[in-house]
Amino acid sequence: MCGIAGIFAKSEDAQEHLGSRLADMLVVLTDRGPDSAGAAIYGEPVAEGAVRLSLLDPSGASRDWEAVAARIGGFGPARVLADRRDQATLVVDGVGDAAERTGTDGTLALRAFLAEHLPDLLVLSAGSSIETVKRAGRPGAPGGLIETVGLRGMRGSHALGHTRMATESRVTTEHSHPFSTGPDLCLVHNGSLSNHNRLRRLLRRQGVSFATDNDSEVAAGYLTWRFLEGDDLAAALDRAVADLDGFFTFAIGTRDGFAVMRDPVGCKPAVLAETDDWVAMASEHRAIAVLPGAEDARVWEPDPGRAPRSGVPGETAISRFWMIEASRSELPPWK
């Protein structure tokens, strides 16, 4: 049992207090996942051709992130935005130039550089807007996620959060959610997958790498593979509902919003709510009830996904999922 939370800001006030409101939701969901917590915040995009990069030293030791930035300078100029001891967020310039030189996706080229030159570091996320933070332990406790990463002071357009109760792998910061699924993409998961070992082997043959033995990372890796094969989010989720065997509620973050999808049986809970200021989702309504204006929100439960019907010639996978998003022109301006 884990807790999932997501919030999408529809007003300047909601953007300004996004981190604080997500923190309140994670505290409520701690009893669903007391082992660790994490969040992905989507903030103001970096300059064109640059990448916002979130890194973790899995040893837990304090890292000289300025030295790391200097080492990344062999790929492109880098600077530290936030130093959080064992993890940091940097901005790397020149990624667009690298893409032109190599003929590949610039973010993938950056990841390959890091794997070769800084193999002891774990990439939490990379993109123009996403910033990912994680921490083992209860999120609201002293030394927990909320305090150590300054979550309450973070602002953005939307965010996903997760509290984890470990059932099939170790309790570490790197095993925490969210898991990155590509540029500006991430996944949080409540549930369990029964075919993750087989899928992990198949995905490794397709070039997808994994940092942990967490089953949820396999779901993230599956989406990474589908995106590399050319699927958009809708097509990838259509395939996922058929290929991922187990019980789940997924929330998948994108640059413009987040998607929510449940397994075909609807075994794992999810609830959505909307006001004039925000749209939110959570594993339980009580996590939404702490948000301002929640008492007047429109509330609904997303439908379960539907796997393809067997024996129907030519029928493709159909899934139901909710996409909460807006174009950048529709969001409140960054101030």
- Interior angle at CA 157, CA 22 and CA 175, nearest 5: 50
Q: What is the chain's mean pLDDT, rounded?
A: 87
Q: Which residues contact 335 (CB under 8 A, 6 or more apart)?
A: 12
Mean local confidence (pLDDT), 64-77: 96
Q: 125 pairs with which residues across the strands?
A: 54
pLDDT per residue as tens digits for the range 180-209: 878 898 999 998 889 999 999 999 998 888
pLDDT range class, residue 328, cuts 50, 70, 90: very low
**Domain ranges (residues) in the chain:** 3-45+129-330, 47-128
What is the pTM assigned to this prediction? Answer: 0.89
Residue 142: is the preceding peptide bond cis (ω within 30°)? no
* 66: helix, strand or coil: helix
Token readout for 165 is 């109760």
Q: Bin 153: left if φ > 0, else alpha if -120 < ψ < 50, else beta.
A: alpha
- pLDDT for res 315: 35
Mean local confidence (pLDDT), 288-301: 96
Could you give the percent of the chain with pLDDT greater than 90? 61
Of 1, 2, 185, 232, the catalytic one is 2
Whether 2 is catalytic is yes
Q: Over 60: is that where the pLDDT of 117 sits?
A: yes
pLDDT range class, residue 84, cuts 50, 70, 90: very high
Q: Is the domain defined by 3-45+129-330 classed in CATH 3.60.20.10?
A: yes
Mean local confidence (pLDDT), 106-122: 91
pLDDT range class, residue 5, cuts 50, 70, 90: very high
**Please, is 171 exposed, middle or buried when counting C-beta atoms within 10 Å of its C-beta (0-12, 13-18, 19+)?**
middle
- pLDDT for res 327: 47
Burial 199-233 (b: 16+ CB within 10 A, else e): bbebbeeeebeeebebbbbbbbbbbbbbbeeebeb
Architecture of domain 47-128: 2-Layer Sandwich (3.30)
Q: Over 70: is that where the pLDDT of 224 sits?
A: yes
Q: Over 80: is that where the pLDDT of 111 sits?
A: yes
Q: Over 50: is that where the pLDDT of 316 sits?
A: no
Q: Over 90: is that where the pLDDT of 19 sits?
A: yes
